[in-house]
Each structure stands twice: as structure tokens, then as C-alpha cells.
């Protein structure tokens, strides 16, 4: 188990250059936690097309994507990294429930249908370099679902060195923590540190949220990515929000309706804002 947990930590660090590059490209201030979660979302978007091209979702591939994103970000994005701002005490308070959730997840068996018959099976096939072009493989692995989550888990398997689906439950805690990170970065300029910490702690300690985070259903990362997209779009981080919306689309087909409504409402709000500006002028 220790080897698996160290592998997951290394896999997340491997996503940091990719997430940092996306932040630079979207002109978003650099924050370590946000860069990690952005790396997760970007990998879920970028790895599936490579899978269909026959490229295995391995650490060298992810690092190459990260190097390309960093280079592009430095050339056409913000051109420099901001000095990260860390608020130690709130960070420790919010980290506590996530550490406990990850420890609980490391002991949980893969016993839900979405896990053993969908994303875990696909992730194992990708880890062992099986092709999804074969019609004989398509029926038992639900080909109609996107490969965002399985390709991410296959990448984690590659870094761990084994297809340890039990330990891979820990990555689901990352999605719940990612929502808290996005909410903090969007709301912190408008809300004090401790009121915001109290509100996010309520979410992270909520029994239903903690149970669902370890359910291994694909709805969990879908919800976390979609909520992150909503928060970022509401905070006028349209480019970065679109990355998370794309990651939600790469998780489960249900996101098509969610994103259609989200961008429909956003377009309507933009029209209303422009009309008000025109009338005031």
C-alpha cells in the first residue's frame, strides 16, 4: 500500500507542469493546489485522443505534455510565474478531512459497478496496452462512455507500477479536494479567510459528501469537475472554466446536457449585460 500511495503522490506531482502550463495559457494566477487540480482536468482532456492514436498514458507522455504546455504558456500566456500565496492555518484545517478521507479510501475495495465494470476495467486495459479499436473489447467496457477517467487512472497505474485499483480510490479524494481549492481561489478575494474556511470545512466533513467521494461512481468526478467549471465561469475565468467543463465532458456523457445549460445561461447573461451597457450609454 505504501508503494501505491507514493506512486499516487508522484503521479500528482507529474501533473503539476501540465497544470501550471494551462494556468499560464489561461492567464490565471499560479497556485500550487489549483495547478495540481488543473493538471488532473487537462490530463483527462488530452490523454484520451492520444490513447486512440495508440499512445500509452504513461509518465513520460504526461511530462511531455506538461513541458509543451509550460513552453506555450511562457511564450503566449502570462510569461512569468506568480509567487504563490499560502495561508498556513486555513490550509491545515482544510487538509485534515482530506487526509482522513484518503486514508479511508486506501482501504476500500472496488465493489461498485461503475468501478469494476467501467473505469477500472478500462484503466486496466489501457495499463496493459490493450487496444480499444477492437470490437471484441467494446461491449464489456461500455465504449459509449468517454475515456477521461480511465486514462487518468491508467496513468496513475503506470506511475505506481501496478494496477492497484484499491489504492486508486485515493484519487477520488483529490476531486473533492479540488472543488475546495477552486472555491477558495474564486471566493477568497471576496470572503475572509476564516469564514471561507468554515464553509468549505462544512462541505469536506459532510458525511454524504465523504461517502459519495469514495463510492467509485463516475458521477463524483463529473460533479466535482462541473462545479469547478461553474465556479470559475462565475468568477469570469472563462478559459480555465472551459478546461474543467471539457474534463467533465470527458468523464461521462451526462455532462453534455449540464454544459449545454451552463453555456446557454452564460450566453444569455452576456447578452443581458451588453444590452444594459448599451442602454446606459
Task: Please tell me whether residue 128 adopts helix, strand or coil conformation.
Answer: coil
Q: Residue 123 region, left (φ>0) first, then alpha (ψ -120 to 50), else beta?
A: alpha
By the 10 Å C-beta count (0-12 exposed, 13-18 middle, 19+ buried), 50 is classed as middle
Give the per-residue pLDDT at 264: 87
* Nine cell digits for residue 199: 464553509
Give the per-residue pLDDT at 79: 57
Give the per-residue pLDDT at 236: 85
By the 10 Å C-beta count (0-12 exposed, 13-18 middle, 19+ buried), 33 is classed as buried
Tens of pLDDT along the chain (281 residues)? 677 778 888 999 999 999 999 999 998 988 999 999 999 999 999 999 999 888 989 999 999 999 999 999 988 866 566 666 778 899 999 999 999 888 888 777 777 777 777 788 888 888 887 555 454 444 445 555 788 999 999 999 999 888 887 666 788 889 999 999 999 999 999 999 999 999 999 999 998 888 888 887 888 899 999 999 999 998 889 999 999 999 999 998 889 899 998 888 888 877 887 777 777 76
Q: Where are the domains of the chain?
A: 2-80+87-216
Q: How far lies 188's CA from each of 167, 178, 230, 235, 243, in Å? A: 33, 15, 16, 11, 21
In 133-206, which ranges are continuous DSSP H helix?
148-160, 170-187, 193-205
Q: How far lies 2's CA from each of 48, 98, 136, 155, 166, in Å? A: 29, 18, 36, 18, 12
Give the per-residue pLDDT at 281: 66
Amino acid at each position: 500500500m505504501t508503494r501505491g500511495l507514493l506512486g499516487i503522490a508522484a503521479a500528482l506531482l507529474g501533473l503539476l507542469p501540465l497544470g501550471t502550463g494551462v494556468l499560464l495559457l489561461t492567464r490565471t494566477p499560479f497556485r500550487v493546489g489549483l495547478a495540481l487540480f488543473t493538471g488532473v482536468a487537462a490530463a483527462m482532456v488530452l490523454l484520451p485522443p492520444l490513447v486512440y492514436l495508440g499512445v500509452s498514458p504513461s509518465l513520460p507522455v504526461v511530462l511531455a505534455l506538461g513541458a509543451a504546455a509550460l513552453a506555450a504558456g511562457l511564450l503566449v500566456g502570462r510569461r512569468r510565474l506568480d509567487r504563490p500565496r499560502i495561508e498556513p492555518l486555513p490550509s491545515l484545517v482544510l487538509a485534515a478531512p482530506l487526509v482522513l478521507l484518503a486514508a479511508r479510501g486506501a482501504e476500500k475495495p472496488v465493489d461498485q459497478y461503475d468501478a469494476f465494470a467501467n473505469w477500472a476495467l478500462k484503466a486496466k486495459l489501457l495499463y496493459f496496452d490493450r487496444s480499444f479499436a477492437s470490437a471484441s473489447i467494446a461491449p464489456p467496457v461500455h465504449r459509449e462512455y468517454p475515456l477521461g477517467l480511465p486514462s487518468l487512472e491508467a496513468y496513475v497505474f503506470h506511475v505506481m507500477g501496478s494496477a492497484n485499483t484499491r489504492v486508486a480510490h485515493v484519487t477520488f479524494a483529490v476531486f473533492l479536494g479540488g472543488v475546495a481549492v477552486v472555491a477558495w481561489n474564486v471566493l477568497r478575494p471576496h470572503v475572509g479567510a476564516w469564514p471561507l474556511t468554515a464553509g468549505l470545512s462544512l462541505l469536506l466533513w459532510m458525511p454524504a459528501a465523504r461517502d459519495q467521494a469514495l463510492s467509485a461512481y463516475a458521477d463524483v468526478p463529473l460533479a466535482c469537475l462541473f462545479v469547478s467549471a461553474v465556479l470559475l465561469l462565475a468568477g469570469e475565468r472563462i478559459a480555465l472554466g472551459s478546461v474543467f467543463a471539457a474534463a467533465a465532458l470527458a468523464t461521462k456523457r451526462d455532462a453534455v446536457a449540464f454544459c449545454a445549460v451552463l453555456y446557454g445561461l452564460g450566453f444569455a447573461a452576456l447578452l443581458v449585460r451588453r444590452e444594459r451597457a448599451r442602454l446606459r450609454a
